[in-house]
Amino acid sequence: MNHAPLAAAFVADAPRAKWHDETLWFVRAKRDKAAQSVPEWEELRECAAQIKAHTVSRLADYLEQFEREATRRGAVVHWARNAAEHNEIVLKLLSDRGVKRLVKSKSMLTEECHLNPFLERHGIEVVDTDLGERIVQLAGESPSHIVLPAIHKKKEDVGQIFHEHLGTTAGATDPNYLTEAARQHLREKFVQAEAGLTGVNFAIAETGGFVVCTNEGNADLGVSLPTLHIASMGIEKLVPRAQDLGVFLRLLARSATGQPITTYSSHFHGPRPGGELHIVLVDNGRSDILASDEFRRSLNCIRCGACMNTCPVYRRSGGHSYQTSVPGPIGSILAPSRNPKMFYSLPQACSLCGSCSDVCPVKIDLHHQLLTWRRELAHQGLLSRSKRLGMQAMSFVFRRPALYRLAGRVARWLTPLLPRFMIYNGLNAWGKQRELPDFPAKSFGEQYAERRRHESQRNS
Amino acid sequence: MSRNEILKSIRAQRVPTAELPSLDRTWLRFADPLAQFESQLAGVGGRAVRVRSTDEIAPILNARPEFANANGIVSHVAGVAANCDLATIADPHELESVDWAIMPAEFGVAENGAAWVTDERIRHRAIYFIVQHLALVLPADQIVHNMHEAYARLSVGSSSLGVFISGPSKTADIEQSLVIGAHGPRSLTVFLVEPA
Ligand code: SF4
């Protein structure tokens, strides 16, 4: 997979790409307003980063404490080394109880594990209940954003999808009407479901419970009707103390959508009377990331999506071009950790503008890590041929000052004389979608030398 | 055995130690936390109503057509009549036809307009999410300034479910247009009972 051609396909529809860009920027602007309304914002970020750094430094202890406390409250804790184990555990829980219908609420982890197709192959109906996720599920796609899963769809698209699957009026595009249709459709699914699965935003070692944040209330509805609740969580979701939630809940929604808090922040501790609660702790590569001084901080991520909303590359290339369950800046760090061969192109897309690191509520140094990845991937020999050859040629020229000066002179003289097609063609990625600036008459080196000459004349 | 392998693999990594920060400091406070709570709640699509006693709640609700014409009503607040008793319902699925619930909340948070509720002594937690309209009732002097104070006062884990609810159920998943009433309640009213 390669990010650039997929992004090119997205950008080919120029008005849509522009709309995508502006919509996400709008969300980013809301985040700014929300962040500025909290005077101690920077202090909160610092606390969040410190809490996370501390937690991962003692992760095994905290996981054991979590397991102990959760078990004490009547939950059953399962451990999965990888996606396959996670899926098997979930399947077994369902099939042991004869469950045929499962409602799910936003869990990027189950996306990461490709749980839906797995369960469907085993004859279980899986319904994603977050409206955005339901839209992409009906469309046969995956979420293109971790907080706004259907951000790439226009209301006309949703109208068409709902017309085909839910029988709404053809051509209807009113969000109120479409949401009402989804409400009725999903209520039916909630009532029929025999089990509910949720993700986990934060798990608390001290109490053995966990918090799920939604605006729609779908997680709550999904787990309060059936008796079986399964919660899937990555092992990095832990915080040590309940009071730590004060820091993270203040940061999460403001960073994600600019809201002061999500509509529902639900704290689950043990099964409800007469029910069952199963928690699946998933590693899937996370303990490996722990080992690396460079990338460890990527485990701090609370999946707010702010880095995507602000990223000039994400906004213009669409989440699907990343081909990974978590796209954008943080996805471009996490994906190569899992599979460098497959995702080598993601860190190359970064413009190193640093905006992601500025907005990240848990202070992940995203753009530094992306730069580190580039070095690392080059080191592993995973650059594309064109990039490798280009860099080799450049290094050859840069090491020979005379050749460098000669090449510059030739280029300044020759380029303005060349016909357009010789400059703006497939070989020149920099000329795509933009005009190159005019070449200056003199190189920087020449101007510098001239200036030095003038100055020494003036001073003498 | 995955458990031991995961723990072993985590313990094998050399992760630098880091202190857990103390959160005991002065955080955001408001001159008038009650007014701040009301304006935050309005900002997220909810409605705050000040009353002098719980007796005032029923007349206010009765004046609303969606309450006067409601089918099922569940109430855990004295003075507000109900026609459906959670304690006698065996299966929460039956709550599908309940239109209104009037429930007590423990306290509110000024910085974000959220109210804290739990399923303690409440047979079906689904009631908070399945009804068409939700009203919460809380003492007006029980508003804390911020989330840190909120966690300092509540005891996390004392009930199997505890929720901060801030406004009605909503979504913006279709072209970022805000629509109220996604799966849960289409409206949230918070009655703030002023101290006698
Ligand atoms: S990396 Fe930071 S900004 Fe990006 S999703 Fe994670 S927490 Fe949010």
Ligand 1: centre distance to CA A300 (Å): 8
The whole-angstrom separation of Cα A204 and Cα B147 is 16
Here the tokens at position B32 are 């008038």
Here the tokens at position A410 are 């030739």
Ligand 1: centre distance to CA A249 (Å): 14
Q: Which chain A residue lies closest to B146 (C-alpha atoms)?
A: A246
Q: What are phi and psi of B189, to 5 degrees?
A: -115, 130
Residue A81 carries which side chain, given as an amino acid letter?
R
Three-state DSSP class for B114?
strand
| pLDDT tens column, A56-82 | 999 999 999 999 999 999 999 999 999
| Ligand 1 atom with the shortest distance to the CA of A306 | 3
The whole-angstrom separation of Cα A261 and Cα A264 is 8
Identify the band that residue A394 occupies on the pLDDT scale cut at 50, 70 and 90: confident
| pLDDT tens column, B13-32 | 989 999 999 999 999 999 99
In B37-158, where do the E strands start and end? 47-51, 72-75, 98-104, 107-109, 114-118, 133-139, 143-144
Tell whether the model's pLDDT for residue A425 goes beyond 80: no
To 10 degrees, the CA torsion angle through A347, A352, A353, A355? Answer: 50
Chain B residues with CB-CB distance to A43 below 8 A: 25
The whole-angstrom separation of Cα A352 and Cα A373 is 12
Q: Between B19, B125, B151, which is nearest A245 by CB? A: B151
Of A227, A223, A233, A236, the closest CA to residue A196 belongs to A223
Q: Which residues are bridge partners to A213 per DSSP?
A: A265
The whole-angstrom separation of Cα B21 and Cα A54 is 9
| pLDDT tens column, B116-131 | 999 999 999 999 999 9
Q: What are phi and psi of A64, to 5 degrees?
A: -65, -40
Q: What is the CA radius of gyration of chain A?
A: 26
Q: Between A235, A257, A267, which is nearest B161 by CB? A: A267
Q: Do A191 and B27 touch (CB under 8 A)?
A: no
Q: What is the CA radius of gyration of chain B?
A: 20
The edge-to-edge listing of strands for the beta sheet with B98-104 is B47-51, B187-193, B133-139, B98-104, B72-75
Relative to beta strand A228-234, strand A276-282 is parallel
Least confident of A99-113, A247-261, A334-348, A418-432: A418-432
Alpha-carbon dihedral sign for residues A248, A190, A327, B11:
positive
Identify the band that residue A356 occupies on the pLDDT scale cut at 50, 70 and 90: very high
E strand or H helix at A62, and its extent? Answer: helix A59-72
What is the pLDDT, as a whole number, of residue B82?
92
Q: Mark out the alpha helices in chain B (DSSP H runs).
A: 2-12, 33-43, 57-62, 65-68, 127-130, 147-153
Average pLDDT for B94-116 = 97
**Does residue A225 belong to the interface with chain B, where contact is any CB pair within 8 Å?**
yes
Higher pLDDT, A433 or A399: A399
Q: Between B6, B40, B113, which is nearest A81 by CB? A: B6
